[in-house]
Structure 1
Amino acid sequence: MTLTHDILCIGSVLWDVIGRTQHPMRIGSDEPGRITRLPGGVAMNIAMTAQRFDLRPALLTAIGRDAEGEDLLAECGARGMVTSYVYRPPGLPTDVYMAIEGPQGLVAALADAHSLEAAGDAILAPLEDGSLGSANKPYAGVIALDGNLTLPLLSDIAGRPSFADADLRVAPASPGKARRLAPLMGHPGATLYVNREEAGYLANQRFDNALEAAEGLLAAGANRVLVTDGGSFAADGSKLRGVIQTPCPAVRVRRITGAGDTFMAAHIAAEMAGKNPAEALAHAQETAAHYVSGEDDT
């Protein structure tokens, strides 16, 4: 099969509505700031960062047939993403993520991914019907999979023959959804991307740093993990070669939403370009630091 893409991004593609202010925030605060609406969602954030490294992503997701969905699909197409495999469920609205960020970081957020969850395994049809793969001819490329899918569906994916040969890169959508990744920890082709808090949820223990978290997840049964810890060290743990770590460059934090997805996409792109584990980890840390600094804002 001749593919028209380099990486398959499965999961949430939605509108990010983000309010940012430079004023301290608390419950009940009403401050001046800026509100933006941009394409977002874990799968979309990974896809957009992958494009920066000359990779063409294809999307497997659910996007509504409402006006917001038409706008979002057009935006994805205009960015050069392959959208021909997107599931368009009738009667379901396009998903949205809403967050408020202050100078101290994320203040609060709500993720409405109900349409993606309701669509279920319908979004995976191209991997089963021969369009991208099937149980007899599993997809053998790189898949970025996000934890906005339901636990039953992620559990199903862990055992699906159509995913058996994939280079599967997995990330939770949020700390609260981290435990959904547990069925994929033992998948032989899976690499999990989590932050230190998410690692704690997955392993049911508290970790003081990324190195400890990577070691703890390997001990809990993971084959490979990448653990970030904000502006501190990040770690890459593998059952085959142990754990390495690298520091994060010091930058002024101007935004938070999407930082983990940026790290993940930059790391995947670096490995696809042939960088060794230490080089890929450093590259991902540098890319994520540049992102949170806001230096590439236009």
Structure 2
Amino acid sequence: MLKRITEYWLCVGGANVDVQGVTSARLLSGTSNPGHVQQAAGGVARNVAENLGWLGEEVQLFALVGEDADGEWLRQVTAKSGVATHGMVRIAGQSTGKYVAIRDLDGGLYTAVADMEVNEAWTDELVQHALERLPQAAGLFLDANLPETAIGAFVEEANKRGKMVMVDPVSVKKAEKWRPFLQGVHVLIASMDEVEALAGQSLSSIRDVEACANRLLEQGLHQLVVNCGEAGLYLCRQKESIWVAAPPVPIREAACDAFAAGIIYAQRLTPLLQEQAAYGLALAELSQHQTGRYDLHALAERKEFFVAAVNKG
């Protein structure tokens, strides 16, 4: 029987309000489109923390919000999953981060605007406040919504203490922030586009993905998980790599953060790449069909399904 994790996960990064506008017919540019608008809690670090919380894990989230109604709403929504939100700091004079997306009726992203200025308000004092929670943490998750100076401080201290550092680049634009810090990263979970930005080269084939991944490992990265869309998933570390077929339902948007949470959740449960991938896929799938606390029995069943599929392939 696996021993249950007693330490908490420390998640640091973005927490914002997501506003999604989806058209009810084919989108026409330059004019008003009928459709519906939804608001949800977002931010990669917040979403990962919430998913770990719904898994029953102990989680502490450190993120910056504004002194506004959106910030208080985010704190309340996040706390429902059991995540400790004392680290969601209100920044005077700032607005809570907001991501506004416009989508076609099939869900495809047409355009988006991210107003995340509040994330630049990290100070040395705020970083040190979060680092005080690191000694008792099972591991540290960071997203790229943090300033580079903050990223460097978190990675350096985590390495000194021998803590796992798990990373999501967030976007193509922000992926480059991680170039100086690969030496200290245990697991990097990214899309193929983000890996292209991080490596500074385009990837047009499976061989390109593998070669690029090897170069990132040579720079000190311990393990890489790449979502290659229809081509599947590629997981690798020194002297070991696997390809996993793409799931029937593509991993998109918030499901990407659930996938990352599944990979993180698996770190203390299994060293096997195929099982880590299966946990990620299973959680991404479950996240698209339910809200609230996860059924761990259902998670285990879907994990075993994906493990069998990987082994069969």
Given the two structures, how large is their TM-score scaled by the length of structure 2? 0.80
Corresponding residue for residue 232 of structure 2: 233
**Counterpart pick for 2:178 among 170, 178, 181:** 181
Residue 213 of structure 1 corresponds to which residue in structure 2? Answer: 209
Compared with structure 1, are the counterparts of its residues 164 and 5 closer, same or farther at alpha carbon in structure 2 (3 Å cutoff)? closer
**Quick check: 1:16–1:98 contact (8 Å CA) kept in 2?**
yes
Q: Which amino acid aligns with 2:32?
A: D
Instruction: Determine the structure 2 residue equivalent to 1:76.
Output: 78
Q: 1:9 to 1:181 in 2, by over 3 A?
A: same
Secondary structure, in 3 states, of the residue corresponding to 1:287? helix
Give the match for residue 295 of structure 1: 289
Contact 1:19/1:100 (8 A) holds in 2: yes
Q: Map of 1:148-227 to 2, 5 A cutoff? A: 148-160=145-157, 164-187=161-184, 189-209=185-205, 212-220=208-216, 221=219, 222-227=221-226
Q: Deviations over 1:131-172 (max 9, x none)?
A: x14xxxx55521110001122332343434676422110011
Alpha-carbon spacing, 1:18–1:104, altered in 2? closer, same or farther (3 Å): closer
Q: Which residue of 2 aligns with 1:125?
A: 128
CA offsets 1:16-43 (integer angstroms, 9 cap, x no match): 1112235333532533222111111001
Question: Measured at CA, do residues 78 and 49 of structure 1 come closer, stay the same or move farther in structure 2, by a change above 3 Å?
Answer: closer
In structure 2, the CA distance between the partners of 1:86 and 1:210, relative to structure 1 (3 Å rule), is farther
- Structure 2 counterpart of 1:296, one-letter code: Q
User: What CA distance in whole angstroms lies between the structure 2 residues aligned with 1:21 and 1:41?
Assistant: 23
Alignment of 1:44-83 (within 5 A): 44-83=46-85
**Which digits, 9 at most, give the CA deviation of each residue in 1:150-209, with x for residues without a partner?**
22332343434676422110011211111011122111x531111101111111111135
Name stretches of at least 5 consecutive residues in structure 1 with no aligned partner.
Answer: none
Structure 1 residues 218-227 or 196-205, which shifts more? Answer: 218-227
Cα distance change of structure 1 residues 74 and 46 upon mapping to structure 2, 3 Å threshold: same
Q: 1:212 to 1:121 in 2, by over 3 A?
A: farther
| Offset at residue 278 of structure 1 (A) | 0.7
Aligned to 1:278: 274
State percent identity of aligned pairs: 25
Asked whether the 8 Å contact 2:62–2:130 carries over to 1, the reply is no
CA-CA distance at 1:5 after TM superposition: 5.9
1:242 to 219, 240, 243: 240
The structure carrying a bigger helix percent of its residues is: 2
Deviation at 1:247, TM superposition (A): 1.0
**Range moving further from structure 2, 6-15 or 63-72:** 63-72
Question: Could you say which residue in structure 1 is the equivalent of 2:111?
Answer: 108
Residue of structure 1 aligned with 2:138, choices 119, 138, 141: 141
Amino acid at match of 2:37: I
Cα offset for 1:213?
A: 2.5
Note if contact 1:60-1:123 (Cα within 8 Å) is conserved in structure 2: no
2:281 maps to a residue whose letter is Q
Question: What is the deviation of 1:6?
Answer: 2.4
The code of the aligned residue for 1:117 comes to E
Superposed displacement of residue 263, structure 1: 1.3
Q: Check the 8 A contact 1:210/1:227 in 2, yes or no.
A: no
Preserved contact between residue 7 and residue 138 of structure 2 (Cα < 8 Å)? no
Aligned CA distance change for structure 1 residues 12 and 52 (closer, same or farther; 3 Å)? same
Give me the whole-angstrom Cα distance separating, in 2, the residues matched to 1:216 and 1:69: 39
The answer to whether the 8 Å contact 1:76/1:83 transfers is yes
Cα distance between partner residues in 1 of 2:99 and 2:229: 21
